[in-house]
Amino acid sequence: MLSFFKIPLYIIFYWYQKIAENGNENAMNNLAKCYYNGDGTEKNLEKAFHWFQKSAENGNKDAMNNLAICYENGEGTEKNLEKAFHWHQKAAENGNEVAVLYLAKCYYNGEGTEKNEEKAFY
């Protein structure tokens, strides 16, 4: 029987940081989530935003949506609904299914874009 050990979060954080610094966009997104939630490190929304942005700019669709949420809520950066819409849209175009729901909400409420109920239900 295989036994699994729980790895302390600070060790996971350490390795995400090393791998992210070497350019891995998945590790960048995971490192950002550590900073966002305070897992294995102190919670730091500015650093979370930085790593979400870096990961998103390197093509990570989950980071694109996470970055949009930061812009939407003003977490780690100034609130900017237009940028939130942009990143939700980019994430949705890249196959992030959760981003599609956020995009529909943006269209329905006119957040960061012109209100368009037809696109909200498309």
Can you give the CATH number for the domain in which 20 is found?
A: 1.25.40.10
Task: Quickly state the pLDDT bin for 1 (edges 50, 70, 90).
Answer: very low
- pLDDT per residue over 26-73, tens digit each? 999 999 999 999 999 999 999 999 999 999 999 999 999 999 999 999
Residue 47 domain-assigned (yes or no): yes
Residue 85 domain-assigned (yes or no): yes
What is the reported pLDDT for 30? Answer: 98
For residues 75 and 81, the answer to whether their CB atoms sit within 8 Å is no
Count of residues in the chain: 122
Residue 103 domain-assigned (yes or no): yes
Residue 2 domain-assigned (yes or no): no
Residue 55 domain-assigned (yes or no): yes
Residue 80 domain-assigned (yes or no): yes
pTM for the full predicted model = 0.90
Task: Quickly state the pLDDT bin for 4 (edges 50, 70, 90).
Answer: low
- pLDDT per residue over 7-24, tens digit each? 899 999 999 999 999 999
- pLDDT of 3 over the 60 cut: no
Distances in Å between the Cα of 50 and the Cα atoms of 33, 63, 103, 108 are 11, 11, 22, 29
Q: How many domains does the chain have?
A: 1
| Alpha-carbon gap, residue 35 to 100, rounded angstroms | 25
Residue 23 domain-assigned (yes or no): yes
Residue 1 domain-assigned (yes or no): no
Domain that residue 100 falls in:
9-120
What is the reported pLDDT for 6? Answer: 86
- pLDDT per residue over 81-94, tens digit each? 999 999 999 999 99
